[in-house]
Structure 1
Amino acid sequence: MHVKITGLPHHPTINGVDFSELSTKEHKRIIRELSPRNYHQVKDWMVVGKGKREGTLLLQRTLPDGMEEQKEVFDCHAMYSACNFGHGDIFSDILKHCGLENFWNHQVPALPKSIDHKFQAPALTALKHLTGLDMFLLKSTGAEAVETAINTSFKYVFIKRGRREVSKPIIIVPKNNFHGRTRLARSLSSSPLSREGFGPLLGGSVVRHTPYNCVSAIKELVRRHRKNIIAIVLEPVQGEGGVIVPSRDYLRQVAEICRENDMVFILDEVQTGYGRTGSNFAYEQCGFLPDLLCGGKAAGAGIIPVSFVAGRRDIMESIEEGTEGATWSATPIQCFALMSAIKALCDNNLSEESAQKGKYLHDLLKRLSEKYLDIITDVRGQGLFVVIETVFNGKAFSQALLDLPQGAIWAKETGEDGKAIRISPPLTLPKEEIPKIVSSFEKVLLQFRDRHI
């Protein structure tokens, strides 16, 4: 069927219908009609642009009288940390000073990995300097990176130990993890929401769950099943699990267990990497290198999906021709975006900014919690990856934050019981805006407290 599209980008017109003329309410109706509801959707509001201030978005909704209302809101979501570099000056620099505006006119944007191109070597070299690891395989999404790392681990262990020596392969993962929504990622999950109703997954004989931050449980599994354990996969801070920060020596101890027993330690830093926790990657704060590192989200600079597996040479070289690949893998535009992200991260000292601003935010929220001990149950986090947990329903609380007439915040509930609100703004958020965010939280806390007295 023929489709006529005109008016891009500001007046997208499909077969004669100018969507820039439709109300927000009508936009949302069409989206609900044509797309399955796979996320808890923000009620009423739609993003129509970036705000005037760094770290803000411009939202719009249709009022009961049919008029349109707009307001700026603090973006404390940052696209699940894919937009670490914000929507303002630094992002504009990525587009302008890195030459992306001219990229399409002078470069080939997409090529298969079977032919090398001039952006590949510098991108891989930049990753080597950033991570400290040896070899890299680029993909598009975080879940792809995790799957690739696990597949590579199987290949490596089968080659090194011999396939017959591994009679019943085992992957160890902590409970309440999140590594994506592919079939393998769902198999790793302990969440019924991720597992139930999606057909046969890898069984409990392959995937073994341990409590997060519990080294003794891992040691017990290793004692009983050492010859069959392929890898341990974990997040340095559990994001969707509620921003759970482990004890300082947990990651290092798990790394040591893997080295001593010839197992692969896979660290999923798709969400925690690129400055989110106050360092380029969270493992840097623990004094070790993972065997395989999964990166993504902010790796593409908020421009295009890019993910990667970085790893030890001996493990990565187990990948043979024809055994691993993807259509979008190390394409020119992906390599260009990857370099742009690393340049923005390092040139602007965003990891240090995250550490300083995160401490400031954490301290202010701690003071707030001391005022409201009866309704704030915890404040925790690392860098600009922070949650405030209350006794109230998280979905209702996050909607109330968004509905504030002044100082509104877009944030997301998280954690096993959904009562924690995650604050993960772009790392570019000005420090002077942080007290305003905390003030908005206090306003909603008082609303909910008064409502529930």
Structure 2
Amino acid sequence: MSTTADAIRSADAHSAHNYHPLPLVVASAEGAWMTDVEGRRYLDMLAGYSALNFGHGNRRLIDAARAQLERVTLTSRAFHHDRFAEFCTELAALCGKEMVLPMNTGAEAVETAVKTARKWGYEVKGVPDGHAKIVVAADNFHGRTTTIVSFSTDHDARDHFGPYTPGFEIVPYGDLTALAHAVTENTVAVLLEPIQGEAGVLVPPAGYLRGVRELTRERNVLFMADEIQSGLGRTGRTFACEHEDVVPDVYILGKALGGGVVPVSAVVADRDVLGVFRPGQHGSTFGGNPLACAVALEVIAMLRTGEFQGRATELGEHLHRELNLLVGGGAVTAVRGRGLWAGVDIDPSRGTGREISEKLMELGVLVKDTHGSTIRIAPPLVISKEDLDWGLDQLRSVLGA
């Protein structure tokens, strides 16, 4: 077995440096805990950016995957397979929609949603071909494809990857007035995260999502909610939009839909939206494959119990109550979030987000920094209250609070 140093040295030598991971090497994981190559255990307070909502090695998901592995894993969409119809039916029902277009990664789902909105705009709304506009929010994170970074305001994600794809208008997040001014007769969609994760777990002002829903309905514009990170239980509801009783025209899903086992994503909408596609106009070799469908079906069944949404609500209230006690004491300047998801702004006097993350790692807790001074906390929804409290104790220790 290689040591941590050996494994990191090899990775640095042979992989592109597009990530800056914390200096540990995970060898195994179960529930909310991970173990490195030297046998040290760490409490996972990031959960793969919410891809691991149901924990590492969840037995129901592993069993579903193993059973499917013994039968068939891939057919391509050139043929039907016996898990596909059930997956589409169950996911559509979970979302209260009529149709599903499955893909693999979150970025693929966002790209698919962009194509869907443009095609709908030309063929249903009547926008002149080539003139469709999609309104997005500043500080968004929807993925890293060429088209998606074209409407990013993050310089690290965007700079030196041009020329950029046109057709997007950027407005401040949470500003309904700016959004209303940006929508024109050529606008086909508004694409938003109900909570901006990568930006630091930014929750929009109360009433914002309702206002977006009303505006888009009045202007005959699709409201596309990127629930890739916020959806499927993380905030205490199946979808973050539910906190304002909002149903978008299009759900964009990923991450937890694959249970941390396989990449699964999807665009979910009614027939009048997704019905614009015809054979040959969009596709994916692996999209909707039997293994992905088997795992996602188990995820959907687990969400239908309401157990995980309930845990995110109960533990989330406890998490935010404890974190807010740190605000104003010289260690934390602000806490944001909803459910079992928080962005914590660290007072610069206590260190950068990266430095705090490294110190927490030394104490056996794993989080991730963003935008310099912020750390994100998003443990698996299966975490116990005792483990959550232990992790919070380590944060207090690091902050000297």
Paired residue secondary structure (1:279): coil
Larger Rg: 1
Paired residue secondary structure (2:115): helix
Taking only the aligned residue pairs, the percentage that are identical comes to: 34
Counterpart-to-counterpart distance in 2, 1:23 and 1:287: 50
Give the deviation of 1:346 after TM superposition.
Answer: 3.0
On the 8 A contact 1:111/1:332 being kept in 2, the answer is yes
The one of 155, 179, 190 equivalent to 1:192 is 155
Higher relative contact order (CA 8 A, sep 6+): 2
Paired residue secondary structure (2:228): coil
Paired residue secondary structure (2:273): helix
On the 8 A contact 2:201/2:342 being kept in 1, the answer is yes
On the 8 A contact 1:94/1:344 being kept in 2, the answer is no
From the superposition, tell whether residues 137 and 70 of structure 1 become closer, same or farther in structure 2 (CA, over 3 Å). same
On the 8 A contact 2:121/2:132 being kept in 1, the answer is no
Counterpart of 1:46 in structure 2 is 25
TM-score by length of 1: 0.85
1:27-176 alignment to 2 at 5 Å? 27-43=7-23, 45-50=24-29, 54-60=31-37, 69-87=38-56, 91-96=58-63, 98=64, 100-105=65-70, 107-164=71-128, 168-176=131-139
On the 8 A contact 1:142/1:307 being kept in 2, the answer is yes
The one of 146, 160, 169 equivalent to 1:208 is 169
- Note the alpha carbon deviations across 1:201-242, whole angstroms, 9 max, x for none: 124xx22111111100011122xxx21112110100000011
Counterpart of 2:341 in structure 1 is 385
Give the deviation of 1:168 after TM superposition.
Answer: 3.3
Counterpart-to-counterpart distance in 1, 2:66 and 2:283: 29
Counterpart-to-counterpart distance in 1, 2:292 and 2:26: 26
Matched, 1:269 2:238: no
Give the counterpart letter for 2:343 in structure 1.
V
1:352-363 alignment to 2 at 5 Å? 352-363=310-321
Gaps of 5+ in 2: none
Counterpart-to-counterpart distance in 2, 1:177 and 1:399: 26
Paired residue secondary structure (1:173): strand
Counterpart of 2:198 in structure 1 is 240
CA RMSD of aligned residues (A): 1.6
Counterpart-to-counterpart distance in 1, 2:331 and 2:2: 42
Q: How many residues align?
A: 398
Paired residue secondary structure (1:242): coil
Counterpart of 1:9 in structure 2 is none
- Note the alpha carbon deviations across 1:59-101, whole angstroms, 9 max, x for none: 24xxxxxxxx53211101111110101025xx023223x3x32
Give the counterpart letter for 2:150 in structure 1.
S
Give the counterpart letter for 1:257 in structure 2.
L
- Note the alpha carbon deviations across 1:406-433, whole angstroms, 9 max, x for none: xx2100012xx32111110000000122
- Note the alpha carbon deviations across 1:143-179, whole angstroms, 9 max, x for none: 0001101101100110123353x66332111100000
Paired residue secondary structure (1:227): coil
Matched, 1:183 2:146: yes
Counterpart-to-counterpart distance in 1, 2:228 and 2:247: 16
TM-score by length of 2: 0.95
Paired residue secondary structure (1:171): strand
Counterpart-to-counterpart distance in 2, 1:435 and 1:24: 28
Counterpart-to-counterpart distance in 1, 2:3 and 2:319: 37
Matched, 1:313 2:289: no
Give the deviation of 1:348 after TM superposition.
Answer: 6.4
Counterpart-to-counterpart distance in 2, 1:197 and 1:436: 43
Counterpart-to-counterpart distance in 2, 1:25 and 1:111: 41
Counterpart of 1:64 in structure 2 is none
Gaps of 5+ in 1: 1-20, 61-68
On the 8 A contact 1:85/1:344 being kept in 2, the answer is no
